[in-house]
């Protein structure tokens, strides 16, 4: 997978006596919003990713592009992004070409964060079953590093909006020991990333909890992939 380097190694590995010199400056990492077909509003929560990216840049030493990228699964640029964010309220439908493309992206070390913006659940589960018919979405254990990568979140994913009152759940698909898909269900995490005041009843404390979860997600995604 053609993903950017995170850090410059201080000790250079050798192969057959030759020194492998890394680039003078590592390419910036980036957060990419996934554009999909099916009628769902993939573009929902317009201020969410800019705020998350700003938090990652301010709170970690990772070199992250300040701009939100937008990509489809068939875009050649897909391989440049270690972190895909998918959200919406409606239907998502992957084409027959996109299903193996997403599977390959994840198997090669990519990470997908899907955020149910209330209404995406049925179609997301259906499409993920096409991508990985032999793997199930399961609750990510509270001891998992995704809840402790930067911030300690012993209670797991925060619940931002009530909707139908079910508890927030962080569900995942694992490839070996690596969490490759994180599905924030009944949480509305992306709403929590939006500008404070976008939802008048949301206190700033929820915004902070959501950002902490988002920072953990990104840091886990770029440090757990093969070769990181």
Distances (CA, A) of 31 to 3, 36, 38, 48, 83: 12, 16, 22, 11, 6
Tell me what pLDDT residue 1 has: 56
Bridge partners, residue 34, by sequence: 71
pLDDT bucket at 200, cuts 50 / 70 / 90: confident
How is residue 109 written in tokens? 């070390």
| Closest to 77 in 3D by CA, of 33, 43, 117 | 33
Question: Residue 8: is its pLDDT beyond 90?
Answer: no
pLDDT bucket at 226, cuts 50 / 70 / 90: confident
How is residue 35 written in tokens? 């554009």
pTM: 0.87
How is residue 127 written in tokens? 């499409």
* Surface-to-core class of residue 200, CB atoms within 10 Å of its CB (0-12 exposed, 13-18 middle, 19+ buried): exposed
Domains in the chain and their CATH numbers?
29-224 (3.40.50.12140)
Q: Which residues contact 114 (CB under 8 A, 6 or more apart)?
A: 86, 87, 120, 124, 181, 182, 183, 184
Tell me what pLDDT residue 156 has: 97
Q: Among the listed ranges 60-69, 129-138, 187-196, which one has the minimum average pLDDT value?
A: 187-196
Tell me what pLDDT residue 132 has: 98
Digit-coded pLDDT (tens) for 65-104 = 999 999 999 999 999 999 999 999 999 999 999 999 999 9
| Closest to 4 in 3D by CA, of 66, 50, 65, 70 | 65
Digit-coded pLDDT (tens) for 121-177 = 999 999 999 999 999 999 999 999 999 999 999 999 999 988 788 899 999 999 999
| Closest to 203 in 3D by CA, of 191, 185, 214 | 191
């Amino acid at each position: 997978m053609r993903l950017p380097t995170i850090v410059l190694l201080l000790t250079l590995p050798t192969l057959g006596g030759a020194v492998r010199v890394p680039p003078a400056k590592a390419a910036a990492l980036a957060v990419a919003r996934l554009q999909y077909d099916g009628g769902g509003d993939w573009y929902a929560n317009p201020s969410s990713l800019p705020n998350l990216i700003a938090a990652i840049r301010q709170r970690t030493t990772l070199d992250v592009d300040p701009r939100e990228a937008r990509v489809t699964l068939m875009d050649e640029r897909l391989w440049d992004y270690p972190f895909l964010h998918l959200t919406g309220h409606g239907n998502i439908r992957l084409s027959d070409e996109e299903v193996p493309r997403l599977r390959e992206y994840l198997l090669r070390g990519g990470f997908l964060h899907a955020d149910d913006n209330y209404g995406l659940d049925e179609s997301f589960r259906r499409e993920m079953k096409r991508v990985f018919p032999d793997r199930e979405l399961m609750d990510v254990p509270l001891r998992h590093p995704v809840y402790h990568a930067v911030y300690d979140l012993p209670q797991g994913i925060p619940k931002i909006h009530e909707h139908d009152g079910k508890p927030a759940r962080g569900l995942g698909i694992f490839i070996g020991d690596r969490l490759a898909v994180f599905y924030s269900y009944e949480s509305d995490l992306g709403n929590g990333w939006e500008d404070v005041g976008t939802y008048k009843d949301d206190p700033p404390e929820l915004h902070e909890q959501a950002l902490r979860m988002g920072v953990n997600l990104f840091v886990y995604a770029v440090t757990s992939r093969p070769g990181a």
